[in-house]
Amino acid sequence: MWTLVYQMTNLSTLMCVGDGPQCRDYVISLGIVKPLISFINPNVPLSFLRNVTWVMVNLCRNKDPPPPMDMIREILPALAMLIHHTDTNVCDSLCLSWMFHFVFYTLFRVVYNDVMERADCGQLKHLILER
């Protein structure tokens, strides 16, 4: 019974998180990441793990604004474990969903902004943004 409740909750979260960055950020602010990561274990039914993977993918979606960097840092080890999973559906969800594109875009923006702020590259920033 509990498995059905978890699966339905997970599917609801999947739908909510996929509705855009505001919903994504709201669900993240409610503390979804740690419980979600706890479901990545051998005792979880495969169908449920597939849904957990899709929720994690949706948490990484949208670039405007990108996902919070703290969430990316928290979720990366779990994604690294999932990418080695033997189920092709889990791996396909990660690789074919553009999830890594969104993660790396977020990481790039953080590094870019940090460099621009620390290096006093006002003219360089102006030239890059012009193009």
Query: Which pLDDT tens digit goes with each residue over 44-101?
Result: 888 888 888 888 888 887 778 888 888 888 888 888 888 888 888 887 777 766 666 6
The pLDDT value recorded for residue 105 is 72
The pLDDT value recorded for residue 34 is 92
Instruction: Reply yes or no on whether the pLDDT at 1 is more than 70.
Output: no
pTM for this model (two decimals): 0.67
3-state class (DSSP) for residue 43:
coil
Q: At what angle do helices 21-29 and 2-17 cross, to 10 degrees?
A: 140
The pLDDT value recorded for residue 114 is 66
65 within 8 A of 21, measured Cβ to Cβ: yes
The residues, any chain, with a CB within 8 Å of residue 107's CB and separated by 6 or more, are 69, 72
Buried b or exposed e, range 36-45, using 16+ CB within 10 angstroms: bbebbeeebe
55 within 8 A of 14, measured Cβ to Cβ: yes
Percent of the chain past pLDDT 70, that is, above it, reads 63
Q: For residue 86, what is the DSSP state?
A: S
Residues 85-129 pLDDT 10s: 888 888 777 776 666 667 777 777 766 666 666 666 666 656 666
Q: How high does pLDDT run on average in the chain? A: 76
